[in-house]
Structure 1
């Protein structure tokens, strides 16, 4: 089973995992894997903490969540440096990630009590109906390495606000970040064990899903991982939220501002070293502006230099792991073998670290990995469309549907296209974005189901309870 962010076990000791710096290729630290009994005991402790937490008022939960946000800002430098060391993320991107996490805490603390407040409705025969959003218990999250802080915060803060307990199985390569976050939350005032990190392998993870104290499961990862985890949870009749991969299309229409489109599409492709589920990945450009766009785009991508992710001047750091870089390279050359044209990049550099250059493929067509699959790294797939209508057809010709974008000077028309025709969960008009705390986040088709952020995530794992008063 391939997971986005699968375990990296120590080559000598199978009872440990070892984190590796993808820039220096040197080991960082080893961690003992929990046994089944240790993992189950941790789940039980989380449940016990939940039994107390569910009785805490919405206002008090919000207060502690606000303190977590403040603590994130306080420890931003340390957290960002750790994420760069473990994943190769640019240091400046790590700091932006921590700021986003703090913003999620702040928004949740302010909006949570209102979002989760009881509702009253008049029902038949003068009866009064009450709707309560009651916490259900322990929520188990399986998260990848590409956003070590954000992926964990995204589901954790919503569920803590809802009154649930939280288990986290983080990707092995960012084990340190998961434990850092646990300690940070407890320093901020969160009761011990309410947020619990499980350092486990996938076999034990499957057993945790079935544990009777686990009431819901959420995963961010590949579509294959989503199918596996959803099947395990479904067999136990447990609700899931799945945020899976994508191959997001960004449309450059005939009336687009090309300077803006080129600049944004470069940034949207290489952000987080190209390893983001909502990165801009396919660029569908109409024939009328294709030649001007591709000339400028290839030049911009060709000029991007790789370097030390801790250096403020670096625009592109290493990928998280060598094997992921090698898989990406294989997808690139399989696409070329099936007719794609390499316009820049595409060659593994002779240097230390899991680097891959900013790469542009043209003549991308169905049957190529660059068209059909998610390329999780700094590789852009450029596709020529006949006109605006054809561009939208190509954008929707995908098994994925997480995000996407439209570049057009006619903003009203672009918004209408986004609403009525774009078969995806999120659309960005004349820009690129990753997440906004007060707007829903999630996808359709093979990109998963369920929503996070914007108040929606707080209600994914609650008992929406009906009470009728005679």
Structure 2
């Protein structure tokens, strides 16, 4: 059985029977047929379903947000924000898909020619637990708008949310089988995913998750010569230059690191501050972090919930202790909280740099690594000293864009916190993956860009 657990209490929530191989086969068979029919459905009808989906998301926000909070510990206000963001994305594609997917005429002289964006079929999605609804919807909404079907393998600790999403699509008027959740025993996941990718009925695969999982999925997709999108880990830099609005930067830094208890690929992880403003930034940053309220995520006054699983605390504790042993200074926090639930103190480490786990690795929890740079050149060097390349935040009144251009990332935000938005593409570089979600790129990722030439 697959059992979900409330990370605020450590107590079990519900148990689910894993699907048999025969049930997985039936889901693929049915999904491929329904997806083919969906691809032949008029675009207008597909987009009307997205509009209904947005309305239903808002209608069911209390129950969906409550399920997110119960299964993975997200503070309730943030869970509600996740639902609203998903609804906004459905509305965005309902409005913009006609223009994005329209045939594009090409002047070739004597013949008629155009480019068409056509559906490819059933797409396998391997999704993580940290944004149980948003991670799925930001992929599924444009994929469905383009005329494809979705086969969802969600994380086991949010199985309730995964099944609720499957029902949500049906209730919004999407055909049963068009979006199917696979409930697979954890031990069988690698072989099941590899087999699905090799299956000719699966047109493509997308994964958001760890680098290890991404390497396995990318390799399997390569062997099958199938399109893949990988959104992997991140260790985003938050760079504060000497000419920054330090008060604004410090306030934003607290949000950037500790939203979702620091469990986000685009949470700022490494704070690189130019020496001239380092003391002021740290004073303000520490005060902001110490003002966070740790506790029951169902309590609206709480701003920092538990980690989603106990093993995540173990990893985080190791990263903190090894970084301190390597020379980092523990300013605040640094330990798991005694008692029920999987809580970890909001933590700040200073004096960090390359060679320390808190700087080199992705810290998936409420731990901030601060490094002081002597000047802009050193700040650029430190920001780029990472295997990852997902997001970047630069704070400067004059030099933000100039500095951002010198640091590799999938997105660069100047005087703003890194975030995903349906209007702009989202994705990484280097070990943070490849391919894009959202915006024009996200809906076209899983289409056949087809040339027509009529003489």
Range into which the TM-score falls when normalised by the shorter chain = over 0.9
Structure 1 counterpart of 2:441, from 446, 450, 456: 456
| CA drift at 1:417 | 2.8
Structure 2 counterpart of 1:114, from 75, 86, 99: 99
Structure 1 residue 405 corresponds to structure 2 residue 393: yes
| CA drift at 1:182 | 1.0
Structure 1 residue 415 corresponds to structure 2 residue 401: yes
Residue in 1 aligned with 2:335?
A: 347
| CA drift at 1:389 | 2.1
Structure 1 residue 192 corresponds to structure 2 residue 176: yes
Residue in 1 aligned with 2:155?
A: 171
Instruction: Work out whether residues 33 and 199 of structure 1, in 8 Å CA contact, stay in contact via their aligned partners in 2.
Output: yes
| CA drift at 1:205 | 2.1
| CA drift at 1:304 | 2.1
TM-score, normalised to structure 1's length? Answer: 0.94
Residue in 2 aligned with 1:3?
A: none
TM-score, normalised to structure 2's length? Answer: 0.97
| CA drift at 1:357 | 0.9
Residue in 2 aligned with 1:309?
A: 297
Residue in 2 aligned with 1:43?
A: 28
| CA drift at 1:415 | 2.3
| CA drift at 1:311 | 0.5
SS of 2:125's equivalent in the other structure is strand
**Cα distance in 2, alignment partners of residues 119 and 103 from structure 1:** 27
Structure 1 counterpart of 2:113, from 129, 146, 149: 129
What is the number of equivalent residue pairs in this alignment? 451
| CA drift at 1:183 | 0.7
| CA drift at 1:380 | 0.2
| CA drift at 1:305 | 2.7
Residue in 1 aligned with 2:250?
A: 262
Q: Deviations over 1:365-419 (max 9, x none)?
A: 2111111100000000000101122211211111100001011122xx312332x
Residue in 2 aligned with 1:284?
A: 272
Residue in 1 aligned with 2:225?
A: 237
**Cα distance in 2, alignment partners of residues 303 and 109 from structure 1:** 41
| Map 1:63-462 → 2, pairs under 5 A | 63-124=48-109, 126-200=110-184, 201=186, 202=189, 203-410=191-398, 413-418=399-404, 420-462=405-447
Structure 1 runs not aligned, ≥5 long: 1-15
SS of 1:374's equivalent in the other structure is coil
Q: Deviations over 1:166-185 (max 9, x none)?
A: 11000000011011111111
**Cα distance in 2, alignment partners of residues 204 and 173 from structure 1:** 18
Q: Deviations over 1:117-167 (max 9, x none)?
A: 11111214x111121111111100000000000010011111101101111
**Cα distance in 2, alignment partners of residues 141 and 266 from structure 1:** 32
SS of 2:306's equivalent in the other structure is coil
SS of 1:427's equivalent in the other structure is strand
**Cα distance in 2, alignment partners of residues 458 and 113 from structure 1:** 11
Instruction: Work out whether residues 40 and 208 of structure 1, in 8 Å CA contact, stay in contact via their aligned partners in 2.
Output: no
SS of 1:193's equivalent in the other structure is coil
SS of 1:343's equivalent in the other structure is strand
Residue in 1 aligned with 2:3?
A: 18
Instruction: Work out whether residues 285 and 384 of structure 1, in 8 Å CA contact, stay in contact via their aligned partners in 2.
Output: yes
**Cα distance in 1, alignment partners of residues 254 and 107 from structure 2:** 54
| CA drift at 1:301 | 1.5
SS of 2:84's equivalent in the other structure is helix
Residue in 1 aligned with 2:19?
A: 34
SS of 1:250's equivalent in the other structure is strand
Structure 1 residue 468 corresponds to structure 2 residue 453: yes
Instruction: Work out whether residues 166 and 180 of structure 2, in 8 Å CA contact, stay in contact via their aligned partners in 1.
Output: yes
Instruction: Work out whether residues 39 and 208 of structure 1, in 8 Å CA contact, stay in contact via their aligned partners in 2.
Output: no
Tell me the C-alpha RMSD between the 2 structures: 1.0
Structure 2 runs not aligned, ≥5 long: none
